[in-house]
Amino acid sequence: MASLSLDWIGDLRFRNSAGSPPIELHSATPNVVSPMQALGYSVMACMAMDVAHMLQKGRQDLKAMSVKFDGERATDPPHRYTSIHLHFDVTGEMPSDAVARAIQLSHEKYCSVSNSLRPDIDFRTSFTIYHP
pTM of the model: 0.92
Q: Are residues 49 and 91 in the same domain?
A: yes
116: DSSP letter: G
Q: Are residues 53 and 24 in the same domain?
A: no
State how far the Cα of 91 lies from the Cα of 97, in Å rounded to an integer.
14
CATH number at residue 107: 3.30.300.20
Distances (CA, A) of 65 to 88, 90, 99, 104, 132: 7, 4, 11, 16, 12
Q: Are residues 45 and 1 in the same domain?
A: no
Helices assigned H by DSSP within 10-105? 35-57, 96-105
Number of domains, the chain: 2
Edge-first strand listing for the sheet containing 122-130: 61-73, 81-93, 122-130
Distance from the Cα of residue 104 to its chain's centroid: 14
Is the bond preceding residue 78 a cis peptide, omega within 30 degrees?
yes
Query: Which region among 24-28, 41-45, 82-86, 121-125 has the lowest average model confidence (pLDDT)?
Result: 24-28
Q: Which domain holds residue 2?
A: 1-33
45-102 pLDDT, tens digit per residue, is 999 999 999 999 999 999 999 999 999 999 999 999 999 999 999 999 999 999 999 9
